[in-house]
């Protein structure tokens, strides 16, 4: 049975999974998992690339001992973040974490430099301080851009170290806000306009599924494939849908909420509503909005652990299930919640500001986060459907968050739609699917998704039909969002 390895780098954890495909079923097993911890130093928030690389090599080595007939390995990871390397492939600075406070003022800078709708027409990217464009703007004048030979996106950096071939894969390039989403190439005009050195974008750009070279470490003769480098492109490729009338929530550290389209939508409506267009697998696009997802829970958990309360996700989910519903609601995307810090304290401040009961302790705070996320999913899906003209009759919730039964149930209640939860490891599975397609064993996305349906357990949540509580909560949520936006 041919085997494939997926290295899936998430903002919370990295993992190496092996997939064996017998022509009818995909058998997936986890080989290695490791925590991914950002490095904090004052205002600097960066990634430990060396650790990510070492853990990747460790995972691949373990797989070599346990999996037979491995054909290839692919790396996917989160979007926006990148490394600047010199001509010898050494980093000129540690890669920034997109939640660094250093980019806080950069959306305004960007919009001063290029008229927002003109920029959106080209890149189709939501205006958020996390993008590559905003990070590069914040780096101007620091000397790092002058010392850099080229820019490589995070999964490209790891793939480059494994294979010796330094290329950029298209789906991950489309997360930069410097990519021409219609022409499928770097947006040279935008790059020039922002005064960014053109030579940074000199790495050859390749489509998902391109074989780079053989692995330089053990086991030899294992092809490193540029899969869809962007984890969200992988996750949505692994969405087990049967038709087009679906919405998705790719639910990990971020929640990426939207619909799949066949062409980018860059109307003023789409821009003002905060939608992005990203390149997907099989010529598809994702019309989605970034929702500041389970990171709110991750960061709260970190704060509670610091206070001596080490609570796991199943425990937090159970606590939330026992806590009063829809008591306090916040906008998960309030700017005060973007960067690391005392998230429970910041949530309390937002509730005070809007005259709501202040959630205290893990049960109430978790409940507030999950209620608010479900409200935001409904908000985004409604707009995604209205702007794209695509009906949404089922919601596919994929990623680690699909294991959160409360969040899945709330999403069904708020949207009034059935929610299909799973796969939990959608990003890694999408990574495997791209490799299997590149190996000629699956012909397209329709076949790939049918394979997911027949291989992975999925759970369905139906709305109860009594939407009174949810409708009232959603009305209050809309009111809170409007009030917070005008504060
Ligand atoms: P990323 O790829 O961004 O690191 P994942 O897709 O792995 O994220 O999702 C991680 C999130 O999934 C966790 O922050 C947590 O909220 C949720 N999660 C994972 N396992 C469980 C579980 N057993 N119960 C409830 N939630 C879970
Ligand atoms: C999800 C994700 C998302 C990006 C964010 C930085 O992991 O790739 O699509 O916007 O990370």
Question: What pLDDT was estimated at residue 487?
Answer: 78
Residue 108: what pLDDT? 97
Question: For 92-117, how does the pLDDT look when each residue is reduced to its tens digit (9 = 90+)?
Answer: 999 999 999 999 999 999 999 999 99
Q: What is the mean pLDDT of residues 221-226?
A: 92
pLDDT averaged over the chain?
Answer: 96
Q: For residue 239, give the 3-state DSSP assignment.
A: coil
Distance from the alpha carbon of residue 220 to the mean position of ligand 2, in angstroms: 31
The pLDDT value given to residue 135: 98
Distance from C-alpha of 94 to C-alpha of 230, rounded to nearest angstrom: 20
Residue 261: per-residue pLDDT: 98
Q: How far is the CA of 401 from the centre of ligand 1 (A)?
A: 5
Ligand number nearest to the C-alpha of 255: 2
208 burial type by CB count under 10 A (0-12 exposed, 13-18 middle, 19+ buried): buried
* pTM across the whole model: 0.98
CA of 232 to the centre of ligand 2 (A): 7
Cα–Cα distances in angstroms (integers) from residue 404 to residues 251, 366, 414, 441, in the given order: 10, 11, 16, 33
pLDDT of residue 55: 98
Query: What ipTM does this complex have?
Result: 0.99
7: pLDDT confidence band, cut at 50, 70 and 90?
Answer: very high
Contact 314 CB / ligand 1 (< 6 Å): yes
Scanning 77-153, the segments in alpha helix (DSSP H) are: 106-113, 116-123, 132-139, 144-147
Write the CB contacts of 481 (distance below 8 Å, at least 6 apart in sequence).
331, 379
Q: Which of 252, 290, 311, 431 best tests ligand 1's pocket when mutated (most atoms within 8 Å of CB)?
A: 252
Q: How far is the CA of 129 from the centre of ligand 2 (A)?
A: 13
pLDDT of residue 255: 98
CB-ligand 1 contact for 315 (6 Å cutoff): no
- Residue 171 tokens read as 């789906």
Report the nearest-CA residue for atom 2 of ligand 2: 78
Known catalytic residues are: 231
Pocket lining: 293 vs ligand 1, CB cutoff 6 Å: no
Distance CA 20, CA 127 (A): 40
CA–CA gap between residue 197 and residue 373 (Å, rounded): 39
């Amino acid at each position: 049975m041919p085997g494939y390895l997926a290295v899936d780098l998430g903002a919370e954890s990295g993992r190496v999974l092996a997939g064996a495909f017998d022509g009818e079923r995909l058998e997936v097993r986890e080989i290695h998992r490791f925590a991914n911890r950002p490095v904090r130093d004052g205002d600097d928030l960066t990634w430990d690339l060396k650790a990510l690389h070492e853990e990747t090599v460790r995972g691949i080595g373990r797989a070599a001992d346990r999996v037979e007939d491995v054909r290839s390995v692919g790396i996917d990871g989160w979007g926006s973040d990148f490394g600047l390397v010199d001509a010898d492939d050494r980093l000129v600075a540690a890669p920034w974490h997109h939640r660094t406070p250093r980019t806080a003022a950069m959306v305004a800078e960007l919009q001063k430099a290029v008229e927002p709708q003109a920029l959106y027409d080209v890149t189709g990217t939501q205006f958020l301080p996390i993008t590559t464009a905003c990070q590069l703007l914040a780096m101007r004048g620091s000397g790092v851009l002058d010392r850099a030979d080229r820019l490589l996106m995070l999964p490209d950096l790891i793939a480059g170290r494994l294979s010796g071939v330094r290329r950029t894969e298209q789906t991950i390039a489309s997360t930069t806000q410097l990519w021409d989403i219609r022409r499928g190439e770097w947006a040279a005009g935008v790059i020039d306009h922002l005064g960014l050195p053109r030579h940074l974008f000199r790495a050859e750009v390749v489509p998902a599924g391109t074989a780079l070279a053989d692995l330089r470490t053990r086991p030899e003769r294992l092809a490193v494939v540029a899969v869809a480098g962007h984890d969200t492109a992988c996750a949505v490729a692994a969405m087990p849908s049967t038709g087009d009338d679906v919405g998705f929530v790719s639910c990990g550290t971020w929640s990426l909420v939207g619909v799949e389209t066949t062409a980018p939508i860059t109307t003023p409506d789409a821009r003002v509503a905060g939608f992005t267009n990203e390149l997907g697998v099989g010529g598809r696009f994702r019309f989605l909005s970034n929702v500041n997802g389970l990171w709110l829970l991750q960061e709260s958990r970190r704060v509670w652990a610091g206070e001596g309360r080490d609570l796991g996700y199943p425990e937090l989910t159970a606590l939330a299930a026992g806590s009063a519903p829809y008591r306090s609601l916040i906008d998960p995307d309030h700017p005060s919640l973007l960067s690391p810090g005392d998230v429970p304290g910041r949530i309390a401040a937002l509730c005070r500001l809007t005259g709501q009961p202040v959630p205290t302790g893990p049960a109430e705070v978790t409940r507030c986060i999950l209620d608010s996320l479900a409200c935001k999913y409904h908000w985004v899906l409604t707009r995604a459907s209205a702007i794209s003209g695509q009906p949404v009759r089922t919601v596919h919730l994929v990623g680690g968050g699909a294991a959160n039964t409360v969040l899945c149930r709330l999403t069904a209640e708020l949207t009034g739609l059935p929610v299909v939860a799973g796969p939990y490891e959608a990003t890694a599975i999408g990574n495997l699917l791209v490799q299997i397609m590149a190996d000629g064993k699956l012909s397209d996305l329709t076949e790939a998704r049918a394979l997911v349906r027949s291989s992975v357990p999925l759970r369905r949540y139906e709305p109860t039909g009594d939407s009174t509580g949810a409708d009232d909560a959603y009305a209050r949520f809309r009111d809170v969002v409007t009030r917070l936006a005008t504060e």
